[in-house]
Structure 1
């Protein structure tokens, strides 16, 4: 079993089971040795065989898959047969039924475990009755033991299910944390690249452009002045520096936004159409006046929303619309899919796309924008993002 906070509990229960069985088997051996009859050696051989078969169960527990289930069933069956043979000779072997109860409940799947407990209880009661006559204690004792074993076995199964669910939840939380960290790193890198691109554009590029214009004006003002060749060389050098600077700006900006936000959204829609999803993209002829951070955020929002639609919505048609608001922009993504309950997603109700929506909401919130999710089960989903232009 994988390690969890409940692992010590399981280890303690299994260790207690092993100790209990060893103690009861030792008691049976002592009873056999004190009798000194013709069946003594046969009983001792059966007791040793019982211990050997029980120890072999550790090898079976190391196997996996369907082989383990079949091998475990055969192991429990062989152990039961040896126990019945020992019980036929030694009535005290009926005590061994109690640890066998736990083996049945732990090894046998579904209802087979409780059924085996009931059958073993009946065998123990009948054996005790045949050896020493049917008494109240001989009947009540195995019944009480079976009841206690069933209660403990049910509790053990509940703990095991809780451990599995907790492990799955922890794995999901770790995966979500890793995805969020990767998204934050990506966003930080893009933001820094965008900042550098803006700084270079607003300082070096503007300065080189101004120098080039001034040199051009000086060259045009007096075409015969001394040192004109130096002015022309300086203007050519400034032009080359400006071209290099603009190339640096293009490389720092997100590659998908080389041609602008509108063409990037169109290319995104075409890519999803090649995947078999019908996407209609509507963009203005000129991109809204947004910062590179805002454009990148809107593109990432569209990418995440279309990915969610493809994975979870089951939509036949998706519409993506970018609108220039003058002082900002609005991006609307609407699908005709199965929809969902936004309240359940906000409350962490287990929606499979809740992480994608949280990532979109965090992007919009960091830029001071507004996100509206309009959806209902069976009515599709409309996601609206509104961002203001940076002052």
Structure 2
């Protein structure tokens, strides 16, 4: 039968946990039923043997009838219990020691019926006193603790005293000591059962907490990955399409100013640059949508950097800005993995864009030095920056540049006033063994 609904009950984990402790509890439950059936059968055989299997002797028929009745009542209870546990397992609930599916009142009535029939059998034959062992376990398992202890003691009294009243000729002190030892042993087994149940409950809770922690960690990593990818995409858009569109806007404004002054030749040249820049930005946008990369990154590193310099020079010429860019790449570019090459291209691209937006420099020198274990990027100009740009928390472009370098375990620094308190220098160092080089 299902166990008692009180604070001393034990809770078992779901049947599919695969826990060794859970299998032990199942084995104990099955062993209890097998023990009851075995002791009932042995007691019946002993009682009939004492009467030489003669149904003419008084009480023989009663023994058979009450034995069959006890077996039937017990079988109904165990079948009820199994169906209750199976129903809970299908619902995914824990197999607890509460009478969630079987009302407590019916469980108590069942146990009372079993006990009454057992008392009747003990009165008919002392052979049935040994059923006290499984009955004691049932008392402890189903009834509240205080009531169950009293029931065990009462059962012991029935097993020890009732045979002395009904069969004094065959009664001895062993009929008191034997059931007493059985009762104590049953009580010890029950508390062991409870300890195992608590252990199972503890491990089930730990397993559940671990699964919850793993799910939370996986969700956190997934969320962090989404945020990191979103930030990366924002930097890519800023360093490609946004910069190209910014150049087009500046060139268009310059063309409008030239038209106002009637300088059509300069406007024609600026429109050509706008067309080329627009075509380049369109190509970048298409390539970005297709595989989130820039056309520059499909070229060898030196050529990609040269194309950035050529575009910047062409744009400044169209805008009438007298500025020269010098590029120097030293070392073997084949040693540079793709993520580092991407960072170098974007860093130089953003540095030149910031020179154009914020500096009045007439000269800029870009140096990329490739060594065995690291790459050094230096961008220096002879201009001065806006006052706001001196703020270390300036703009999305330089912040994105710094983050790109840091993501590759590199270092990023900006120095102001390197020469005569006017020039600006950007210095970056990227190890070639960065965590992004795979």
TM-score range for the pair, normalised by the shorter chain length:
0.5 to 0.7
| 1:12 and 2:32 are equivalent in the alignment | no
Displacement after TM superposition at 1:96 (Å):
0.8
Match of 1:182 among 201, 214, 219: 219
Tell me, in whole angstroms, the C-alpha distance in 1 between the residues paired with 2:122 and 2:243.
Answer: 98
Asked if 2 retains the 8 angstrom alpha-carbon contact of 1:219 and 1:232, the reply is no
Tell me, in whole angstroms, the C-alpha distance in 2 between the residues paired with 1:32 and 1:110.
Answer: 33
Match of 1:144 among 173, 178, 181: 181
Tell me, in whole angstroms, the C-alpha distance in 2 between the residues paired with 1:104 and 1:81.
Answer: 13
The 1:113/1:288 distance shift into structure 2, 3 A limit, reads: farther
Displacement after TM superposition at 1:227 (Å):
4.0
Q: Which residue of 1 aligns with 2:231?
A: 194
* TM-score of the superposed pair, with normalisation by structure 1: 0.57
Q: Which residue of 1 aligns with 2:80?
A: 60
Q: How many residues align structurally?
A: 255
Match of 2:64 among 12, 34, 44: 44
Q: Which residue of 1 aligns with 2:134?
A: 99
Tell me, in whole angstroms, the C-alpha distance in 2 between the residues paired with 1:33 and 1:145.
Answer: 23
| 1:213 and 2:250 are equivalent in the alignment | yes
Q: Which residue of 1 aligns with 2:168?
A: 132
- Three-state SS of the structure 2 residue aligned to 1:65 is coil
Displacement after TM superposition at 1:136 (Å):
2.7
- Three-state SS of the structure 2 residue aligned to 1:111 is helix
The 1:288/1:121 distance shift into structure 2, 3 A limit, reads: farther
Mapping of 1:20-31 within 5 angstroms?
Answer: 20-31=35-46
Tell me, in whole angstroms, the C-alpha distance in 2 between the residues paired with 1:123 and 1:69.
Answer: 25
Q: 1:344-378: CA deviations, max 9, x gaps?
A: xxxxxxxxxxxxxxxxxxxxxxxxxxxxxxxxxxx
Asked if 1 retains the 8 angstrom alpha-carbon contact of 2:245 and 2:278, the reply is no
Q: Which residue of 2 aligns with 1:160?
A: 197
Mapping of 1:154-303 within 5 angstroms?
Answer: 154-221=191-258, 223-225=263-265, 227=268, 230=271, 234=275
Displacement after TM superposition at 1:159 (Å):
0.7
Tell me, in whole angstroms, the C-alpha distance in 2 between the residues paired with 1:132 and 1:201.
Answer: 104
Tell me, in whole angstroms, the C-alpha distance in 2 between the residues paired with 1:40 and 1:287.
Answer: 103
Asked if 1 retains the 8 angstrom alpha-carbon contact of 2:255 and 2:271, the reply is no
Displacement after TM superposition at 1:56 (Å):
0.8
Match of 2:111 among 63, 72, 76: 76
The 1:39/1:157 distance shift into structure 2, 3 A limit, reads: same
Q: 1:61-114: CA deviations, max 9, x gaps?
A: 134517443222211111001101111111111011111111112222333322
Asked if 1 retains the 8 angstrom alpha-carbon contact of 2:118 and 2:128, the reply is yes
Q: 1:181-208: CA deviations, max 9, x gaps?
A: 1111011111111111012112321232
RMSD: 3.5
Asked if 1 retains the 8 angstrom alpha-carbon contact of 2:69 and 2:117, the reply is yes
Q: Which has the higher contact order (CA 8 A, sep 6+)?
A: 2
Q: Which residue of 1 aligns with 2:301?
A: none
The 1:80/1:195 distance shift into structure 2, 3 A limit, reads: same
The 1:68/1:181 distance shift into structure 2, 3 A limit, reads: same
Asked if 1 retains the 8 angstrom alpha-carbon contact of 2:73 and 2:114, the reply is yes
Tell me, in whole angstroms, the C-alpha distance in 1 between the residues paired with 2:229 and 2:68.
Answer: 74
Displacement after TM superposition at 1:237 (Å):
6.2
The 1:8/1:89 distance shift into structure 2, 3 A limit, reads: same
Which structure is larger by alpha-carbon Rg, 1 or 2? Answer: 2
Asked if 2 retains the 8 angstrom alpha-carbon contact of 1:87 and 1:127, the reply is yes
Gaps of 5+ in 2: 1-11, 85-98, 290-390, 404-413, 415-438
Asked if 2 retains the 8 angstrom alpha-carbon contact of 1:106 and 1:153, the reply is yes
Tell me, in whole angstroms, the C-alpha distance in 2 between the residues paired with 1:14 and 1:235.
Answer: 84
Deviates more, 1:44-53 or 1:62-71: 62-71
